[in-house]
A and B are shown apart, each in its own frame.
Chain A
């Protein structure tokens, strides 16, 4: 298998708070291959957004990346200067935010917010003057057209509040895709939308992915979305990856009790549109966690052996699980 596009090893991101150090991401490995769609699922607060904010270099104080390597196309992103990182963001990796309603700047026109991405990254444009402005305007209109916003030319002059929620989601996707990134991180692209628009937006992402040959990380609460759109899935729990593998296999034969719980709470085969129903109990406090399995207190199968630290184990080709009851230890 060729080297992955994105390869994250041992990522650890913490937030210093008054109550103590919150370990939001603790030893996460992620790899995303070229052209694939990787789904990330997990309860609220499991570290999905923080993991990819770390990849983007957007963890803000009081947060900081404490350990780990982040390779994009073999290039170590953590070793880049802020300026070099800015050249990667928006060009090689793009992101859409969890909440489309707050991600667009209310004081700037939509046109300007698309145009500035081209202005920052597109070196094929004329250097300056009206030719450059026109080229940028054409490309911006083309992007709006691509995400299915009609009469793009005139809508470029409008402000975000003049668009509906679904439209704003599309605009955000248009901005993210403007420079044809190699990797799109779509953080819950559908949560704020109603069901039909959800489907349209996901279709759009899948279609553009095929057209541009990019990789997509799809963060979601919706296992139905994962089943339909993702090649592989990664389940996160309390800052750790607890299970990972090809979507069909994970759904057919979940290995981790947590994943089984997630799936059991959904009536199959109608997976679609079902949010994750909470499993009994609470996600542990991420401050000063004991070394034991993080799911221990909620796990129906827990035993004394689970009180020792649990490493990732191999559960067949391309499958990993963090539970001593399945798989085999990797050397």
Chain B
């Protein structure tokens, strides 16, 4: 087992943890004292861990050593946190090129878990965990669960697909660690999911926003009113963007009092647990003693000043198995360092406005599917289910949006008004010309995991 640097800050005695935990049980709490450290202290830990990680990676990970040599950087060149920008990036392509274990810093013997993300093209990306990594992961998720309002009294139903995907097991161990009762119901069999919610009095739901909506829909079909008949008080959503419009839509289905918080992570970095939203709803706190965030210009790779929007780059500073340095997440966000009202000092990343991977270029206009979603959700008569279809007609892109009506109407005028409203808003707000096709309620595909709502049929 490799001992990673400065441990003093997360080695609390078990008694200390139990005491801290029981004193706060049932109320919103801050899981670890690290989350409230002064900035200088956070930075001191970060530098120490960064230096240790870079030396270790240089020694053990040949492909990254090669990159550093090519860039002319040695581990001893990292003297301050600002020196991080001297280091080369790691991309998803690097992970594919070194499939499966090429970027690992430990031998297979030391791994205790392997996950993989389903690659839509080519090989999947493989990630591995040592015993120590699993502890780190559990710690990080425990923190974001508490940030999001979870407590040890919750009955937590995990409606993420269990398996090679990191989401379900990540939340599972984190929530179990804070004392919640886990219902590992996974995805699918939605009627049974509703039965568990009723019978076990599930109070916390883990799901993608689109599956949470689906579950509410199924409940209603069964004659179960989520707000009246179920006890779900928190939804910890992830793995999909949670726009403000989507949050509102979730309130329509689950009631106005449900607490909805999003959290962020990706398997390459660890899984869920990189950052999470606190009850102040002002962005997601990054676990800065484990991850150093940077925002770069995705075109030039240059680090942008604090507060500017760009691509999030993350360096793992306390991982043993797969310590990625300057990993390009392709997620677009910005960082805030002001102290949060919740008491945490860890910086916050703005809820994502999109993934650069998901960005669509339609007739020269750059647009995120989430922006189209916001337009759709702003029209009252429309449900939250839609499909974006892109085709090429001659030299022109053709955009078609199929969207479900929330209810059937007998008024032709209403249908014409809805169509015109969506078209106008797309034109005015996003500069897009679209064909809008209304479809009957309950006819578009429903998703249990990450929703796939874009069909790009243009030949690339």
Pair from one complex: no
B contact set with A: CB distance below 8 Å: none
